[in-house]
Amino acid sequence: MSGGKTAIARANIALIKYWGKAPGNENLTAVPSLSLTLAALSTRTHVRFDPALDADRVQLGGALAEGRPRARVVSLLDALRARAGRTERAEVVSENDFPTASGLASSASGFAALALAASAALGLELSPAELSSQARAASASAARSVFGGYVELLAGARAAEPVAPPDFLDVAMVIALTTLGPKAIGSTEGMRHTEVTSPYYRAWVASAPSLFAEARRALLARDLETLGASMEQSTLMMHASMLAARPALVYLRDSTLRVMERVRALRSRGIAAFFTMDAGPHVKVLVERAAVSIVAAELGDVPGVERVLVSEPGAGAELVGDSPEA
């Protein structure tokens, strides 16, 4: 029995979205994305390799994983075992410190933490770029959670790269959790469906690079207004491509639209606040730090908003000691 390793990684929210895969089966992205890693949404994962185990044992949020969630974990473990020339099976225990059932994506922080804990438990010393590449193969957005602050994942790239540190802008993220609808279609399936059936998909892929370049420039110039404008256009262009699919892929709810309206109303009062939505009904709002409590209170007041979370920008994935408790 070898000592295990524990890692923490934080979720990230794409300011400029990725939606769609590059050709081939390597889980490379069709468009460039730019994200912010969040301190308050973290996954803690413990991995221990044990020659006495005859199969990988994967516990996610207190329950034994089976089917596709387990298979995705095992395939990342297999890639790392192959790389280390090892064959022992592993015990994986992973917990999120944010509400998983809320529909907030947890695959980014989950696979980044798994890649780091499992590679360390195998004695592999992977560079951040190699870790990011391993995490990306499991979930493209996970490539970005290896790094803290503002992170880019270019179209077709194997690994994400850091762009600016967490404290580069004086901002925080306010997340409005809205009423959940019927179970959402997962991102991999949703992307494929959009690519195959939506006449707007090509337009989305064609316009994404210039929007990404504009946002990246605005970020580095600390121009929050332009960054915010490109951020809102990116999420709405992505959702437009989904809405034009057949049948339509509609992740946005009435409560989502009400939050967007409230964000626009806050802006008309001079508050710098900008929304983005992923493959779900929740709204994540990038807000100048001075206005965080006002925005959190206002969004909490919107009908259909069940809960508001506030997060500072966060650090990249890290090992947190060798205790067996995950």
Chain contacts with ligand PMV (rule: CB under 6 A) = 14, 17-19, 33, 105, 107-108, 139-141, 187-188, 278-279
Rg (CA), the chain: 19
Beta-bridge partner residues of 45:
7, 94
How far, in Å, CA of 84 to CA of 78, rounded? 10
Tell whether the torsion through CA atoms of 158, 186, 206 and 162 is positive or negative.
negative
Terminal Cα distance for the chain, rounded: 17
| Contact predicate 178/255, CB 8 Å | yes
Q: Which is nearer to ligand PMV, 4 or 110 (CB)?
A: 110
Residue 14 vs 272, nearer CB to ligand PMV: 14
* Shortest distance in whole angstroms from residue 12 CB to ligand PMV: 7
Closer by beta carbon to ligand PMV, 94 or else 139: 139
Cβ 35 to ligand PMV shortest distance, Å: 7
Nearest-approach distance from CB 88 to ligand PMV, in angstroms? 28
- 68: CB partners within 8 A, 6+ apart: none
Residues 94, 45 contacting (CB under 8 angstroms):
yes
In the bound complex, what is the minimum distance in angstroms from residue 287's beta carbon to ligand PMV? 19
**Closest distance to ligand PMV from the beta carbon of 257 (Å):** 18
Owner of token pair 């959009």: 194
What six digits make up the tokens of 114?
């798994």
Sign of CA pseudo-dihedral 252, 256, 262, 267:
negative
93 or 104, CB closer to ligand PMV?
104
Residue closer to ligand PMV, measured from CB, 80 or 105: 105
Closer by beta carbon to ligand PMV, 105 or else 218: 105
Please state the closest distance from residue 139 (CB atom) to ligand PMV, in A: 4
- Residue 53 CB, nearest distance to ligand PMV (Å)? 28
Q: What is the DSSP string of 258-290?
A: HHHHHHHHHHHTT--EEEE--SSS-EEEEEEGG
Round to whole Å and give the CA distance between 265 and 270. Answer: 9
Is the CB of 95 or the CB of 152 nearer to ligand PMV?
152
The angle at the Cα of 277, spanning 255 to 204, to the nearest 5 degrees, equals 125
**Contact criterion met (CB below 8 Å) for 214 and 256:** no
Closest separation in Å from C-beta 50 to ligand PMV: 30
CB nearer to ligand PMV: pick between 141 and 241 = 141
